[in-house]
A and B are shown apart, each in its own frame.
Chain A
């Protein structure tokens, strides 16, 4: 029987399993010790595992990520937390120029098994420098993997898979998901989970249109599909889960069935992951199955505003997805 757990507790349970089973694993980040992390994810861990393995760092993102690269190539398994994904920008050199490239540059002689966890997304009133969805930046970099779990189970399982992966993985968690609850089957050991990174999941089967989302938009897409069902529209929902690599085959198979495609993410439209998903379809025979132009429902092309109504206007909502799918099916 699955238990019911909060998303943040599921992340913590993965961290606990890893700390229990693998001496090489350690955590580092700002205020992850007694404070428990800005979003409470590491709450209590320092009491059980001590300050050597739950390392509070100064406010030094560049050093946090660079240190993780150095520790990873010499045999440790660092899991570092960026307090907000926005601050990852201060650590772009170690992530983009170093972590992503060392394995390739050094002729395959080193591996960089590190994980960077970072809360992203808006809806908290934290405005332009604390609300971004920067996944497309990382999805553009060969050598990185970028994972964005939407469900409680995936919050745990994909983290376990990320740590097992010999490559640097960016794990972007949406802040509004931390408190969401869902069914959870607790793995007994990290090796119980064998989710490959880069596989999407069809979370609702349908025949009229395909909605592709990830992270919180996978959740909103599912809600939208339920509302659409009441209006007689049967939507298929795909949770991408990983935005690098992208599981194009699952999307293509769905489009061949439904003939209609809508992609949604909270990040702005231009240059976003949605464009890559759509291209994956139009570059394949699935193009021939399209009955209508594809649609994207994404964040507006502005930095995130503070005021509640403005913020809401920028972030795609369930009703935006519902409306767009209705239009798509009518077209």
Chain B
């Protein structure tokens, strides 16, 4: 349960489910706006990966930080971001999170602990180490959760950041979203040793691989890692195995994987369907509750889009004053 879900008075499973649906509906709304030519540039959708975002952020405490990636809409929503302000940003509004300067890849909500999405693969990893250093030297009791992709694990800064966090015992959780591909390159082809979690051993830290489409499993793994970090016992790599349904970005022709594979993940491993089934089976939610969660999420996103469209457009008027503090 991310911050949004924590503030919701309903039962925990209802909150978690609603928030995962918010992420999906947000991404779908963007697809729709994109197809109508209302967005600029490209975007990276996280449909299929909702449980990783929600499970991970849900294991954090108010005041904890995240750093995000180019595929960051889900992280932002899970960590309590306001979908209206995100939508306004994407719609190039002056009241959007970044006043129209950042767009999809750079959503940040520093006040709420989202230190920002990043267009540079692995670009946030050393930043996360630094943010964790602040927590360590100020004894803040807060942790930093750094989202990064399987592809990012092959950047040099992965090594430098993880090593630093290990020797300095920084309160950071390295959350690898392994969606099996870095753009077109299959993770098994790009990653020597086959596993990001296994690399942890080389740094003398713990590494876990979990089912990233199981929101409870992600939550539990991250909770453990965050507790450990908070109590001064250093970082953990938590590798969440998940899958993105859409192309890498809008220009992807999906030539590097089969439709069969996509269908199999969507039909058999969908994180939302799985959590719904689990909640039904364990009688945590009824069919009626589930419909209500879905309806709530859909209504929230519809309202976010409606309000975002009413916002004033970003203007270039004070652009030149924007580069320096």
* Size bracket of the B interface: 35 or more
B119 touches A124 (CB 8 A): no
- Does A127 lie within 8 Å of B101, measured CB to CB? yes
Q: Which residues of B line the A interface, CB within 8 A?
A: 39-42, 89, 92, 98, 100-106, 118-123, 151-152, 154-157, 182-185, 189-191, 251-253, 255-256, 313-316, 319-320, 322-323
How far is the CB of B123 from the nearest CB of chain A, in Å? 8
A59 touches B121 (CB 8 A): yes
Contact call A59/B184, Cβ cutoff below 8 A: no
Within 8 Å by CB of B315, from A126, A128, A309, lies A309
For A305, what are the chain B residues with a Cβ–Cβ distance below 8 Å?
Answer: 100-101, 314, 316, 319
CA distance A307 to B39 in the complex (A): 9
Indicate if the CB atoms of B103 and A306 lie closer than 8 Å.
Answer: yes
Q: Which of A59, A127, A129, A311 lies in contact with B154, CB distance below 8 A?
A: A59
- Which of B92, B118, B156, B184 is the one whose CB lies under 8 Å from A308? B92
In the bound assembly, the distance between CA atoms of A54 and B16 in angstroms comes to: 45
Chain B residues within 8 Å of A128, by CB? 101-102, 106, 119
A125: chain B residues at CB < 8 Å are: 39-42, 103
Q: Are B103's CB and A307's CB within 8 A? A: yes
Contact A309/B313 with A35-B256, A58-B154, A58-B190 known, Cβ cut-off 8 Å: yes
Expressed in whole angstroms, the minimum distance between the Cβ of B86 and any Cβ of chain A is 13
Interface of chain A, helix or strand or loop or mixed? Answer: loop
Tell whether A307 pairs with B323 under 8 Å between CB atoms, given A31-B183, A31-B185, A62-B156: no
Is A309 a contact partner of B156 (Cβ separation < 8 A)? no
Q: Does A301 lie within 8 Å of B323, measured CB to CB? A: yes
A residues 291-323 in Cβ contact with B at 8 Å: 300-303, 305-311, 313-314
Chain A residues with CB under 8 Å of B313's CB are 307, 309
Question: Within 8 Å of chain B (Cβ to Cβ): is A186?
Answer: no
CB distance from A227 to the nearest CB of B (A): 23
Distance in angstroms between the alpha carbons of A62 and B158 in the assembled complex: 12
Known: A303-B101, A311-B40. 16 other contacts (CB 8 A): A31-B185, A59-B122, A61-B155, A62-B155, A86-B120, A124-B41, A125-B103, A126-B41, A300-B319, A300-B320, A305-B100, A307-B100, A309-B92, A309-B316, A310-B100, A314-B316
Note all chain A residues with C-beta closer than 8 A to B322. Answer: 302
Which residue of chain B is the closest to A310 with respect to CB atoms? B316
Known: A300-B319, A306-B100, A309-B314. A87 touches B191 (CB 8 A): no
Q: Which residues of A contact B101 (CB under 8 A)?
A: 127-128, 303, 305-307, 310
Return chain B residues, CB-CB under 8 Å to A300: 319-320
Indicate whether A302 sits within 8 Å of B319 (C-beta atoms), given known contacts A59-B155, A309-B92: yes
* Smallest CB-CB A-B distances: 9 pairs: A125-B41, A306-B103, A125-B40, A307-B100, A129-B119, A307-B92, A58-B154, A313-B316, A35-B184
What separation, in Å, do the CA atoms of A19 and B44 have in the docked complex? 33
In the complex the two chains form, is A56's CB within 8 Å of B323's CB? Answer: no
Interface mask (A250-273 → B, CB under 8 Å = 1, otherwise 0): 000000000000000000000000
The closest CB in chain A to the CB of B190 belongs to A58
- A63's nearest neighbour on chain B, judged by CB, is B156
C-alpha gap A264/B275 in the complex (Å): 57
Judged by a CB distance under 8 angstroms, whether A207 is at the interface is no
Cα distance, A56 to B185, chains bound together (Å): 8
Give Cα A128 to B106, complex, Å. Answer: 9
CB distance from A51 to the nearest CB of B (A): 10
* Residue pair B41, A127 in contact (C-beta under 8 Å): yes
Contact with B along A58-79 (1 / 0, CB 8 A): 1111110000000000000000
Choose among B100, B156, B319 the residue that contacts A90 (Cβ–Cβ < 8 A): B156
Contact between chains at B320 and A306 (CB < 8 Å): no
CB-based contact B100/A130 at 8 Å:
no
22 A-B interface contacts by CB (under 8 A): A34-B255, A34-B256, A35-B184, A36-B255, A59-B121, A59-B152, A124-B42, A125-B41, A125-B42, A126-B119, A127-B41, A127-B106, A127-B119, A128-B119, A129-B106, A300-B320, A302-B319, A303-B323, A305-B100, A308-B92, A309-B315, A313-B319
